[in-house]
Amino acid sequence: MKPEIEKAIQEIRMSFGREVEVQPDGEEGAFVKVLDLDLGSHYEPERSWVAFRITFQYPFADVYPHFLVPHLKRKDGKELTSPLHPKNQFWGPPSGKEAAVMLSRRSNRRDAAVDTAALKLQRVLEWLRSQQ
């Protein structure tokens, strides 16, 4: 892994205080899964892992998309709609492809000097929690 990727993973660990699973992707980046994050009270389950890939282009590439537990649903019975996409797969090792709900929140105006992987994860969680 490139030093920038290792630094990003360390920042995620420090920012969230959760267990973080990391597997090199074979291209100087990493597959990352942050465990036991709070999604908000309107989802079931209320806590999920969030997985994503930090590619070798980081910090110049967006960390996108993010993946959540495959059985995620809304407590009010409404369907998950875009940008949440059920019946997807997170493609990271060690298990290869893993069933997941994909969250597609691209950052079009990101600044590589400011917008870190940890900040992106924080924004993803804030977006999830704000959905009513």
Enumerate long-range contacts of 24-28, CB under 8 Å, 24 or more apart. Answer: 25/53, 25/55, 25/56, 25/92, 25/93, 27/55, 27/56, 28/1, 28/2, 28/56
Residue that has been written with the tokens 């940890």 in this structure: 118
The answer to whether the beta carbons of residues 1 and 24 sit under 8 Å apart is yes
All structural domains of the chain with their residue ranges: 3-130
pLDDT per residue as tens digits for the range 37-84: 999 999 999 999 999 999 999 999 999 999 999 999 999 999 998 899
Q: What is the pTM of this model?
A: 0.91
pLDDT per residue as tens digits for the range 74-101: 999 999 988 999 988 887 665 678 899 9
Q: How far apart are the C-alpha atoms of 47 and 39, rounded to whole Å? A: 6
